[in-house]
Structure 1
């Protein structure tokens, strides 16, 4: 019989909440005292360190979870180091016989969990894993032949055919916590080091975001009540606040996809279906990463391995800094830098511009987003970049090249999005602001715009960039034909 004075451990990962937390519910059901821990492991093999914006968010997220636990009479211990080694010490010091957590779906993390489970088993400790971060387990939705889906539409139809999404679970009514005071000898996480200092570039993040489950649930309810009914139209209006902005709260698990599903499903109408399919796209990204672990590191369409990406530090930096001379692109990149987030339509425009007009490797864009987005997660970040590049599953064809001028005219017709993020162009007319290089010197002078001065000239002729991209694409088609003939 287990010692009733010994705790069970709840290991928080990307699920920093108390509501709809199956692992916490299962731990509570044991009737034992609970020890809550978080481990920042950036040393184990294959584990990718967090980007700067995500580290900033994590700092706030841990503080918010700690407040939630304190209100229930509990505490949160945070450690830094290799998770297997930390658990060796934890179970030795606490004599815990059970660890509860949620499944992770990246290959390195899955393998690490298997290692931890085996090492704990040697100590007669059980690692219990529940599904708590997706609507469906990635191996629950398969084709009739038992293979993974490669197209979202077919995947989503099959996923929806499985029946109703389970209702989110409530916070356990009875939580009893273990006193963590004796565990100070373990390698504690210095949470202050998660914040940027020299320089402190996070002022824009602080002005725009408040990490935490309470904030995520409030945002969800506000979106459902006031914006969901016009989501299909509003999500593409770049200057409006029509998207849910829930992505970082989902990424860190402040709200669960089941909570989002349950709240949105109460609102009838076509817009709700469109929004829920976006939750489905998130599911599909994790599904794809689970079945295709190389999603983050190589082209899923191998014929693109022969594509000759350009190498241009100057063009990459101009893109990163929002100094390309293409206003709609620069607006998106400056929104990203200042807020840690970017409008979804802008993500598509600037992604296409990087990989097609500039012909720079999508992996460079993925790496920049990983470092600067507060909502960057391994699955969505990589799959969306492969989608816009045309190199992955469910990809937009490489020859479909977004024209940033037409995109601006359609989705920012009055230039309000550009004016907000590229204020040096604010005095230009609605028509002139998307392509100032087409205006006369007098028009620019009156608007106090000097191309090559306070605003850069375009770093690429859009038509020439398009033609270069298509020429590169034709080479991949030739390579594919040669492979088929062989």
Structure 2
């Protein structure tokens, strides 16, 4: 039997996942507060959160873990890296060290939630205490419910309830020093091969992952783009957004810290209150997505609105390939897809445009687009990804109706009026005047000649006619509506 003195001296395990920071980290704070040695560990589990991590996500994870490891080492507790089954690796650490408590910040995605629950139950049965905290959301799923006690399915009332009920935790900066257990085996992160090399299509990523970089990005946003966020966020040639999505996903910033910084900027007159409110609504949408996925786990691969599972999607592999490569013949779509491939990120307005084009112009299943984004986005987040694709497809909760079909030419002319965004990412069109850059097929032959653009050679002709594609999409929508009533 373990004596009280032995239990008091036993180390505790701090299991990092998507909370790769020291500040505002409840699991870290509670682990250190025990006064016992803390063993920080990250486990690279092939099962991940239920699906294999995308290549771009792994690139970010590699850099973020290196930053976290350096910060922990400065405080005396190097990060232990282990690879394999999560429960098996935790049990291995318990066997090696005599640890009797595991601290973690909870993951709320369906697979991860179930896995963590099973691990906690199994360890508890063996006398190991497991303590979980909310370190990723403003409020954990199940805490913001309708008057009837169910989950919200409409965003605005959810947002209002969330902002009225949720309270920010006290801000903590993280410990200056952490006692730990020395001599533990740790994998070499280089051996994990998280940065793909054949092909090294991530070589041009211009990001700095890690907590320090996240704080800098937050300061840059509140000191600049926040002032005109509601307008700037729609214009892809400008730096009008926050660029915080990957930092939030990997837990390098707590969402409450972001909200408090934004509110402080408004209170100090550095940004209009309306702009702060607009951005906070976007954080609330992230929260809405997480709460929805937790309540309705089937939406990862099924439509939230069941009738859309009968939608007559096309098996258009050529169209899908053209879309992924940025060769659709629609410049704003191609610019977005090339930006995604080159940087692991895409402007939010353009994400909606390219998604609408895939789902509605090409009639390709939203799940194929969601899977492509999952693989190529550094900020790939299961709840956000699924919810946003279903929003565009009209099949999600509080979604944009399917019959709202973006005209890619009109969207380009409205939000990239000068064509600067297209010129950056589709350089073969850079000499076209603004009047024609979003519709090169309509340009006079002499304009194309002067710009050295040969349609079908230097740049493709449109792979679909948008007007005809729109009619086809509406006919498909009508077909599933009729079948619903026939049932």
Q: TM-score range by the shorter chain?
A: over 0.9
Unaligned 5+ segments in structure 2 are 267-272
C-alpha displacement of 1:163: 5.0
- Residue of structure 2 in register with 1:71 after alignment: 74
Q: How many Å separate the matches in 2 of 1:351 and 1:138? A: 27
Q: How does 1:203-242 map to 2 (within 5 A)?
A: 203-205=203-205, 208-242=206-240
C-alpha displacement of 1:183: 3.4
**Which of 285, 288, 292 is the equivalent residue of 1:288?**
292
C-alpha displacement of 1:190: 5.4
Contact residue 40 and residue 189 of structure 1 kept, 8 A: no
What secondary structure sits across from 2:356 in the alignment? helix
Greater alpha carbon shift after TM alignment, 355-364 vs 69-78: 69-78
Q: Tell me if 1:156 matches 2:159.
A: yes
Q: How does 1:15-414 map to 2 (within 5 A)?
A: 15-43=19-47, 47-162=50-165, 164-179=167-182, 181-183=183-185, 191-205=191-205, 208-268=206-266, 269-414=273-418
C-alpha displacement of 1:442: 1.5
Report runs of 4+ in structure 1 exceeding 3 Å deviation.
2-5, 187-192
C-alpha displacement of 1:341: 0.2
Deviations 1:53-80 (A, max 9, x none): 0011111011010111111111011111
C-alpha displacement of 1:172: 2.7
Equivalent pairs counted in the alignment come to 477
C-alpha displacement of 1:5: 4.1
C-alpha displacement of 1:320: 0.0
Contact residue 167 and residue 258 of structure 1 kept, 8 A: no
TM-score, normalised by the number of residues in structure 2: 0.96
Deviations 1:58-115 (A, max 9, x none): 1101101011111111101111111111112111111101100011111211111111
C-alpha displacement of 1:3: 3.7
Q: How many Å separate the matches in 2 of 1:318 and 1:336? A: 14
Q: How many Å separate the matches in 2 of 1:223 and 1:74? A: 32
What secondary structure sits across from 1:161 in the alignment? helix
Contact residue 79 and residue 188 of structure 1 kept, 8 A: no
Deviations 1:314-352 (A, max 9, x none): 100000000000000000000000000000000000000
C-alpha displacement of 1:277: 0.5
Deviations 1:247-296 (A, max 9, x none): 01011111110111111110221000000000000000101110010121
Q: How many Å separate the matches in 1 of 2:339 and 2:171? A: 34
Q: How many Å separate the matches in 2 of 1:302 and 1:223? A: 39
**C-alpha spacing 1:167/1:242, structure 2 compared with 1 (3 Å):** farther
What secondary structure sits across from 1:230 in the alignment? helix
Contact residue 38 and residue 77 of structure 1 kept, 8 A: yes
C-alpha displacement of 1:238: 1.3
What secondary structure sits across from 1:99 in the alignment? strand
Deviations 1:437-460 (A, max 9, x none): 001222101100010001011100
- Residue of structure 1 in register with 2:270 after alignment: none
- Residue of structure 1 in register with 2:18 after alignment: 14
Q: How many Å separate the matches in 1 of 2:96 and 2:188? A: 15
- Residue of structure 2 in register with 1:454 after alignment: 458
CA RMSD of aligned residues (A): 1.4
What secondary structure sits across from 1:63 in the alignment? helix
C-alpha displacement of 1:200: 1.1
Q: How many Å separate the matches in 2 of 1:169 and 1:389? A: 41
What secondary structure sits across from 2:213 in the alignment? helix
**Which of 453, 458, 474 is the equivalent residue of 1:470?**
474
Greater alpha carbon shift after TM alignment, 116-125 vs 241-250: 116-125
Q: How many Å separate the matches in 2 of 1:163 and 1:115? A: 28
Q: How many Å separate the matches in 2 of 1:182 and 1:358? A: 54
TM-score, normalised by the number of residues in structure 1: 0.96
Contact residue 79 and residue 189 of structure 1 kept, 8 A: no
C-alpha displacement of 1:405: 1.1
C-alpha displacement of 1:182: 3.5
